[in-house]
Copies of this chain bind each other. A is one copy, B any other.
């Protein structure tokens, strides 16, 4: 199909598609003339993925490029690929004093050790979590590393088991990679939304049990 049809089918303006082509987010079409190229279904699909990473994942275009280059490197080990995807989809850590940072970092490591989680995950992820604990302490909640963190680990473990099983069930490497990227970017938003739904439900149950007459 021509770029005009690609634009129609994807709902993305021709100028934007040309920008993605220049930035390498989209592989070039098959050249059919001096100023013309032909595009296939894989371009429609890739455009959807780019929009999901930008709109749902909130990634800058340059970072989307990093993720897609990793996805397109056929001999990159799955673990390195996971690292790139996971590292990209997390906010950078803010500044904190060494002492605050050290204390929060120790809390994270202790929680992982307690569970026997020997995996060294991508460093940006550990830093992002450490940064959250630093922030919480700065905002007056230094105890959350002890009181709140364990339940978050329990909940995240249940979600991660389904994440990994779902991604692996996709079959071939390319399909697994695609599922990992889509699930990672969409999963955060889904989890944030469901957490709020669950909070509302738990609050309601609490309200009901508090106002019920005691036996």
Q: Which residues of A contact B (CB under 8 A)?
A: 45, 48-49, 52, 55-56, 58, 79, 82, 86, 89-91, 94, 112, 117-122, 125-126, 128-129, 131-133, 135-136, 138-141, 144, 147-149, 151-164, 166, 168, 178-179, 182-184, 186-204, 206
Q: Using CB atoms, name the residue of chain B closest to A193.
A: B129
What's the nearest-Cβ distance from chain B to residue A140, in Å?
7
Q: A52-B139, A117-B197, A151-B158 are in contact. Are A82 and B191 (CB under 8 A)?
A: no
Chain A interface mostly? helix
* Structural contact, A138 and B48, CB atoms closer than 8 A: yes
What's the nearest-Cβ distance from chain B to residue A51, in Å?
9
Report the Cα distance A4→B120, complex, angstroms: 43
* Structural contact, B52 and A160, CB atoms closer than 8 A: no
- 4 interchain residue pairs of minimum CB distance: A160-B198, A151-B162, A155-B155, A129-B193
